[in-house]
Structure 1
Amino acid sequence: MSPAKLLLFGEYSVLHGSAALAFPYERFSGELVLPGSMSDPDPAWVDSNRSLQELFDYLTTGERIGQSEQILNLERFRSELGEKLFFLSTIPANYGVGSSGSLVASLYRRFGHKNETSPEDLRKRFALIESFFHSTSSGTDPLVCYLNRPVCIRAGSVTTPDITLEELRKHIKINLIDSGTPGQTKTGVSGFTINRQTDPNRADLYESEYIPLVNQVINNIIGKEFETLYSDIQRISTLQLQLFKELFTPDILNKAQACLSDSSGVIKLCGSGGGGYYLHFKPVAG
Structure 2
Amino acid sequence: MKGPLFYSKILLFGEYGIIKDSKGLSIPYNFYNGALKMDENPSEKAKKSNEALKGFAQHLKSLDASLVEFDFESLSNDVDSGMYFDSSIPQGYGVGSSGALVAAIYDKYAKDKITVLENLTREKLLKLKMIFSEMESFFHGKSSGLDPLNSYLSIPILINSKDNIEATGIPAQQTDGKGAVFLLDSGMIGETAPMVRIFMENMKQEGFRNMLKDQFIKHTDACVDDFLKGDIKSLFKNTKQLSKVVLNNFKPMIPKQLHELWKNGIETNQYYLKLCGSGGGGYILGFTEDFETAQKSLKDYKLEVVYNF
TM > 0.5 fold call: yes
Note the residue ranges of structure 1 that are not aligned, 5 or more in a row. Answer: none
Matched residue, 2:203: 196
Q: What's the counterpart of residue 49 of structure 1?
A: 50
Distance 2:16 2:220 in 1: 11
Choose which of 132, 143, 146 in structure 2 pairs with 1:140. 146
The aligned amino acid for 2:167 is T
CA contact (8 A) 2:195 2:278 kept: yes
Q: Which residue of 1 aligns with 2:128?
A: 122
Name the SS of the counterpart of 2:279 in structure 1.
coil
Query: Which residue identity does 1:266 align to in structure 2?
Result: Y
Question: Where do 1:1-286 residues align within 5 Å?
Answer: 1-35=5-39, 38-39=40-41, 41-61=42-62, 64=63, 66=65, 70-116=68-114, 118-155=124-161, 156-163=163-170, 166=173, 170=177, 172-197=179-204, 199-284=205-290
- For residue 119 of structure 1, give the secondary structure of its aligned residue in structure 2: helix
In structure 2, relative to structure 1, the CA distance for the partners of 1:78 and 1:10 (3 Å cut) is same
Shift of 1:103: 0.8
Q: Distance in 2 between matches of 1:231 and 1:80?
A: 51
Structure 2 Cα separation of the partners of residues 77 and 213 of structure 1: 44
Q: Offset of 1:242 from its aligned partner?
A: 2.0
Is the contact made by 2:171 and 2:228 (CA closer than 8 Å) also made in structure 1?
no
Matches of 2:172 and 2:143 in 1, distance apart?
23
Contact 1:23 1:150 (8 Å CA) reproduced: yes
Aligned-pair CA distance for 1:89: 0.4
Contact conserved, 1:181 with 1:276, CA < 8 A, in 2? yes
SS at match of 1:66: coil
TM-score (norm 2): 0.84
Structure 2 unaligned runs (5+)?
Answer: 115-119, 292-308
Change (3 A) 1:163 1:209: same
Q: Deviations over 1:44-103 (max 9, x none)?
A: 001101111111222224xx35357x2422222112110111000000011001101111
Shift in CA distance, 234/168, structure 1 to aligned 2, threshold 3 Å = farther
The aligned amino acid for 1:213 is H
Report the residue type matching 2:202 in the other structure.
N
Change (3 A) 1:99 1:171: same
Shift of 1:135: 2.4
* SS of the residue 2:148 aligns to: helix
- Percent sequence identity is 28
In 2, Cα distance between equivalents of 1:165 and 1:190? 37
Shift in Å, 1:195: 1.3
Structure 2 CA distance for aligned equivalents of residues 165 and 51 of structure 1: 39
Q: For residues 231-252 of structure 1, what are the alpha-carbon distances to aligned partners after superposition, in whole Å with 9 as ceiling and x for unaligned?
A: 1111111111122110011112
1:147-203 CA-partner distances (Å, limit 9, x unpaired): 111011113222111215736995841111111111100111111111111x22111
RMSD after superposition:
2.1
TM-score (ref. length: structure 1): 0.91
Deviation digits for residues 8-54 of structure 1 (CA, Å, limit 9, x no counterpart): 1001111111111011001100011122xx23x21000110111111
